[in-house]
Amino acid sequence: MASVGIVTSLIAEAMPLEAFVPVPIPKQKVSLEINGKKLDLMVDIRSTLQDLLREELGLTGTKKGCAMGDCGSCMIHINGNRANACLSLVVYNDGNKITTIEGLSNGDQLHPVQAAFLKHDSFQCGYCTSGQIMSAVTCLREGAAKNREEIKKYMQRNICRCGSYQNIVDAIEEVKKSGVKV
Amino acid sequence: MKKNFNSAYLPDERVDGLEKVTGKAKYTAEHQLPNMAYAVFVCSTIAKGKIKHIDTSKALSAPGAIDVMHYENCPKVPGYQPAAFPDLKNVGEWRGLKVFGDPLVRFYGQPVALALAESIESANEVAKLVEIEYEAEAFETDFDTLRKDPSKLKGSNNYVRGKIQAYKEAPFFVEAEYNVPIEVHNPMEMHATIAFWETADTVLLHDKTQGPKATQSAVARLFGLPEKNVRIIAENVGGAFGSALRSWANVPAAVIAAKKIQRPVKLVLTRPQMFNLVGYRPQAWQKVGVGADANGNLLGITHHAISNTSRYEDFREGIVDASKFLYKCDHVDTEYKILPLDLSTPTWMRGPGEATGCFALECSLDDLAFKLKMDPIQFRIKNFTEIQQESKLPWSAINLKDCYAKGAELIGWKNRKQLPKTLKEGDWYVGYGMGVGVFGAGRGTSTVRAILHADGRVVLESAVSDMGSGTATAMVKVAANALGIPEEKIKFVMGDSDLPPGPMQGGSTTTSTLGSGVHLACESLKDLLKDMAIQMVDSFKSMAKDKIGIEGLKLFSLDNNNISVTARELIDKKKVSFIDIVKTSPGLNTREIQKATNSFSVHFVKVHVHSKTNEIQLKHVVTTGDAGKIISEATARSQMLGGAVGGIGMALTEEVKVDHSTGKISNATLGSYIVPRHTMIPHIDVWFTNKPDPYINAIGAKGLGEIAIIGFAAAVSNAIFNATGKRVRDLPITKEKLAKVKA
């Protein structure tokens, strides 16, 4: 029962407690490449990538805004595709290449999207920013930044409660127009 | 880090921007302490009653379990029962829910136990295994029904100027009822507390708070400790909008648990818990009547309101306030009551009661203008006044007319038709609307330490936190201006209660209050340098202070330019590595200056409403602010953008739904409580009058966080009315509701 975190939690809520027998935490070996670094880890099989990154690996740039895939604050890249870190169990990611906001800039050189976010004041509190930037990068890479409306549609999965949406689209549009490789 | 874009906008970048775009900025829950335990709230599944029995045996046998804390085993806390701790000096009764203090359940989702475990995964599992039996009682959550029963209402607060209900005698009048549902702040960062007892009587907290000093005081009084024994760190706050203006149950829960298990404890709320454990905008019913003569002169305003509170605390806000003072009118009466329900306590949410009140007032004025066949802007200009109508004091500054003119120009008001349904683009009706916002502009007390290092760096310190509005960025600009040195040389340090006492970030007062403190500290620093020159430099000896000039960090004689000394030389001469000064800037007494102080806004909206489906699409927004001098253009603009986005949510999507058969919030997720997302946002223009207010403070700046949203929902409603002739007075305005209304 206790073998799949998110799924279990849903089942557990629906089941009477008597039916739920706790068992010792099984751990599993997982190999991941995170921001270019290979890691062999023994992980709690209930761990999501979100909690592994934030609580175990100190990569707190990936945020927790809802833990149920609604807000986009935890957006990361798994094998180059954007994904909600909160919806992905670590054990399902054996052998995967993961990029977080910490792995986006190249040494001291900001990624063009990061620089554009700075220039356009595309954030206020900064909490959704990592997720917005990670989505913005795949938006550009996947050719989804054709115009402002297309950018908005692609970015729909990322909430910014401070309301910096217009400045976020300004930043993405500028990077797109500059033609710089992302 | 280097940036690979040309940096034309560099001066406007946030001072904390680099950390935020690289993911390095750390928020409360992102700190790790050695041997830290993870905590998760177990919340009640009834709305009212009593815990009959708690069985934690299964929970405690789960792997990784440390403890389950609840009312039976919760250590005695002085602030929960001050009378029982007469020997402690600094005890104060805890405000609000005394979590785990008794077996009573006061609302659905109230924390009734705290699961403590070695990891977040284990804590979640332990929480699920706690078994609780309740004795449920009948409860009341249905605002719409209960507010009609006068015996349920509390604390009538009335105001009368001139005749009561004078609007009814006016040749032209309108009256209508309005509803604003419960809305939730929902900052992206969830509330969190990490508590660590460093010794038996000193505690360190990482906490999401808009005021480190207020949290320090609350925790100190909870345990009867001297304030210096409590340290609060809040270096980055991931939004709050009012939710972190006070300490909620997560603070005592984490601090008590850390004491109980003798380990640091990290407690992070879940998103569903964010809907009722850290406040919300209360539901409000309003009835507004406004009347005028044929020329558009207002003859009467009546504004009644009822908003909900909890059963265990009274919460009231300024819902009817703007009606008392904004427009020229001799006959005004207001009435405000609260309705206690079996829900958690509401709190101030951005624009607080004024946003609720101005929605009703500004829609009513739009209706009356329509009845008078007057342009809504002209109608407001007709009733414009430079005298605050309640206090009868002149405003320190009011430039609303500039906002009307510029906003009208930017939105294309000249294209607006007075009659609905006359402007169409394809199948879409086109409408233009506007609404006014007003909020108090205060100035509180703040203490700032200014440090000047020998190498010319200036560090400013104050115990404030910043929820995203850009406090540090603005303060660096204030200091750069006062000292005449480049911004790169200045650092603003905050987010720690050990720093000199700074204000709470709320009520649109930070820039005014803290800016005054920074300005004063910088001016005093210059003064100190002059004193040092007079004392230590022969050529300055016996020189009068006002004969000494200072530019950048160089002092010189105003009579003889050849006599000069640098700050560096003075600091070196004193044989120290830095000099510093701590200054307290006093609050503003409006009686002393005999002025009323407010910030103002006017919002303009262009909307499309589909003639067959009633789908609503915002096409263009113009938001104008009259908030004195703008200190930091980029961050001020961003605040106005954010207010408009918040206003769009208030107008069109945001609504908490309570299931009255259980008392449970049925849409407590960001997937079911709809906040604005990218595709809902049209092009937004921001414009400021940017005229210094000569009375408010030395820097001429007023707050604008609240006015950014106040009046916005009315602008949307008024635009929809202009498009369709339909008025939905029950927020949010949806196409389903529009379909039911007759034009």
Interchain proximity A121–B683, CB inside 8 Å: no
Tokens, residue B720: 């929809």
Give the CATH number for residue A129: 1.10.150.120
- Residue A39 falls inside a structural domain: yes
CA distance, residue A70 to nearest chain B CA (Å): 5
Neighbours of B454 (CB within 10 A): 16
- Give the tens place of pLDDT for each residue, A101-150: 999 988 889 999 999 999 999 999 999 999 999 999 999 999 999 999 99
Angle CA B277–A124–B625, to nearest 5 = 100
Interchain proximity A159–B241, CB inside 8 Å: no
pLDDT at A14: 46
| Bigger pLDDT: A14 vs B450 | B450
Position B159: which residue type? Y
pLDDT at A22: 55
Q: Which residue of A has its CA nearest to B187?
A: A161
Least confident of A12-26, A119-133, B55-69, B562-576: A12-26
Whether residues A126 and A94 share a domain: the answer is: no
3-state secondary structure B219-232: HHHHHCCCHHHEEE
ipTM over 0.90: yes
- Residue A56 falls inside a structural domain: yes
Least confident of B4-8, B381-385, B430-434: B4-8
* CB-nearest partner of A167 from B190, B641, B675: B641
- Residue A1 falls inside a structural domain: no
Query: Shortest CA distance to B240 belongs to which of B220, B215, B265, B257?
Result: B215
Number of domains in chain A: 2
How far is Cα B402 from Cα B609, in angstroms, rounded to an integer?
29
Is 90 exceeded by the pLDDT of residue A11?
A: no
In B, which residues are within 8 Å of A50 by CB distance? none
Per DSSP, the three-state class of B245 is: coil
Which of A103, A124, A148 finishes a domain?
A103
pLDDT at A107: 81
Q: Which residue of A has its CA nearest to B470?
A: A124
Is 80 exceeded by the pLDDT of residue A17?
A: no
Angle CA B640–A148–B684, to nearest 5 = 20
In B, which residues are within 8 Å of A121 by CB distance? 12-14, 17, 634-635, 637-638
- Give the tens place of pLDDT for each residue, B263-311: 999 999 999 999 999 999 999 999 999 999 999 999 999 999 999 999 9
- Residue A130 falls inside a structural domain: yes
Whole-angstrom CA distances from A147 to A139, A172, B5, B27 are 11, 10, 21, 34
In A, which residues are within 8 Å of B188 by CB distance? 63, 65, 71, 73, 125, 127-128, 159-162
Please identify among residues 115-154 of chain A the ones whose CB lies closer than 8 Å to any CB of chain B: 115-121, 123-130, 133, 149, 151-153
pLDDT at A8: 39
Interchain proximity A121–B2, CB inside 8 Å: no
Query: How many residues are there in chain B?
Result: 743
Interchain proximity B7–A119, CB inside 8 Å: yes
Interchain proximity B22–A110, CB inside 8 Å: yes
Interchain proximity B641–A163, CB inside 8 Å: yes
CA distance, residue A65 to nearest chain B CA (Å): 5
- Residue A19 falls inside a structural domain: no
Question: pLDDT grade, residue B591 (50/70/90)?
Answer: confident
- Residue A18 falls inside a structural domain: no
Question: pLDDT grade, residue A16 (50/70/90)?
Answer: low
Query: Shortest CA distance to B648 belongs to which of B413, B350, B423, B369?
Result: B350
How far is Cα B411 from Cα A40, in angstroms, rounded to an integer?
58
Question: pLDDT grade, residue A21 (50/70/90)?
Answer: low
Is 50 exceeded by the pLDDT of residue B98?
A: yes
CB B70 within 8 A of CB B113: yes
Is 70 exceeded by the pLDDT of residue B55?
A: yes
* CB-nearest partner of A110 from B4, B467, B679: B4
Neighbours of B672 (CB within 10 A): 12
Q: How far is Cα of residue B259 from the mean position of the Cα atoms in its chain?
A: 32
Q: Which residue of B has its CA nearest to A72?
A: B188
Q: Does A10 touch chain B (CB under 8 A)?
A: no
Whether residues A51 and A34 share a domain: the answer is: yes
- Residue A8 falls inside a structural domain: no
Whether residues A131 and A64 share a domain: the answer is: no
In B, which residues are within 8 Å of A156 by CB distance? 677-679
Interchain proximity B271–A46, CB inside 8 Å: no
Q: Does A161 touch chain B (CB under 8 A)?
A: yes
In B, which residues are within 8 Å of A59 by CB distance? 23
In A, which residues are within 8 Å of B26 by CB distance? 60
Query: Shortest CA distance to B339 belongs to which of B154, B156, B158, B179?
Result: B154
pLDDT at B345: 98
pLDDT at A18: 55
Whether residues A168 and A123 share a domain: the answer is: yes
Is 90 exceeded by the pLDDT of residue B123?
A: yes
CB A74 within 8 A of CB A131: yes
Whether residues A33 and A91 share a domain: the answer is: yes
- Give the tens place of pLDDT for each residue, B196-212: 999 999 999 999 999 99
Whether residues A30 and A77 share a domain: the answer is: yes
Q: Does A6 touch chain B (CB under 8 A)?
A: no
Interchain proximity B22–A123, CB inside 8 Å: no
Mean pLDDT computed over B669-695: 98
Interchain proximity B188–A73, CB inside 8 Å: yes
Mean pLDDT of chain B: 96
One DSSP character per residue, B522-581 reads HHHHHHHHHHHHHHH-GGGTT--GGGEEEETTEEEESS-TT-EEEHHHHHHHTT-SEEEE
In B, which residues are within 8 Å of A5 by CB distance? 121
Tokens, residue B385: 């006044």
Interchain proximity A112–B62, CB inside 8 Å: no
Interchain proximity B238–A23, CB inside 8 Å: no
Whether residues A136 and A67 share a domain: the answer is: no
Q: Which residue of A has its CA nearest to B129?
A: A17
CB B416 within 8 A of CB B366: no
Interchain proximity B18–A71, CB inside 8 Å: no
CB B718 within 8 A of CB B366: yes
Whether residues A97 and A127 share a domain: the answer is: no
How far is Cα B458 from Cα B483, in angstroms, rounded to an integer?
9
Mean pLDDT of chain A: 90
In A, which residues are within 8 Å of B113 by CB distance? none
pLDDT at B2: 38
* CB-nearest partner of A125 from B22, B120, B237: B237
User: In A19-127, which ranges are continuous DSSP H helix?
Assistant: 49-51, 112-119
Residue bearing tokens 């006016």: B170
Interchain proximity B642–A163, CB inside 8 Å: yes
Interchain proximity B677–A156, CB inside 8 Å: yes
Question: pLDDT grade, residue B383 (50/70/90)?
Answer: very high
Whether residues A99 and A117 share a domain: the answer is: no
In B, which residues are within 8 Å of A51 by CB distance? 120-121
Whether residues A79 and A125 share a domain: the answer is: no
Which of A54, A75, A103 finishes a domain?
A103
Whether residues A149 and A118 share a domain: the answer is: yes
* CB-nearest partner of A54 from B5, B24, B30: B30
Domains (range + CATH), chain B: 28-137+185-274 (3.90.1170.50), 284-442+592-740 (3.30.365.10), 446-587 (3.30.365.10)
Residue bearing tokens 């909890």: B310
- Give the tens place of pLDDT for each residue, B220-260: 999 999 999 999 999 999 999 999 999 999 999 999 999 99
How far is Cα A143 from Cα B346, in angstroms, rounded to an integer?
45
pLDDT at B507: 86
Interchain proximity B5–A100, CB inside 8 Å: no
Interchain proximity A17–B678, CB inside 8 Å: no
Rg (CA), chain B: 28
Which of A103, A137, A152 finishes a domain?
A103
Chain A interface disruption, residue of B20, B124, B269, B349, most A CBs within 10 A = B20
Is 50 exceeded by the pLDDT of residue B70?
A: yes
Is 70 exceeded by the pLDDT of residue A9?
A: no
Chain A interface disruption, residue of B16, B121, B269, most A CBs within 10 A = B121
Question: pLDDT grade, residue B11 (50/70/90)?
Answer: low
CA distance, residue A95 to nearest chain B CA (Å): 23
One DSSP character per residue, A132-169 reads HHHHHHHHHHTT--SSHHHHHHHGGG---TT--HHHHH
Question: pLDDT grade, residue B149 (50/70/90)?
Answer: very high
In B, which residues are within 8 Å of A117 by CB distance? 17, 21
- Residue A11 falls inside a structural domain: no
Expressed as residue numbers, the domain containing A134 is 112-178
Interchain proximity B239–A161, CB inside 8 Å: yes
pLDDT at A24: 76
Q: Which residue of B has its CA nearest to A62?
A: B23
CB B251 within 8 A of CB B113: no
Tokens, residue B587: 């609050």
* CB-nearest partner of A109 from B4, B21, B188: B4
CA distance, residue B121 to nearest chain A CA (Å): 6
Give me the residues paired with residue B331 across strands. none
Q: How large a percentage of chain A has pLDDT more than 90?
A: 84
pLDDT at A12: 41
How far is Cα B421 from Cα B429, in angstroms, rounded to an integer?
6
pLDDT at B665: 98
Residue bearing tokens 């954030």: A123
Whether residues A65 and A43 share a domain: the answer is: yes
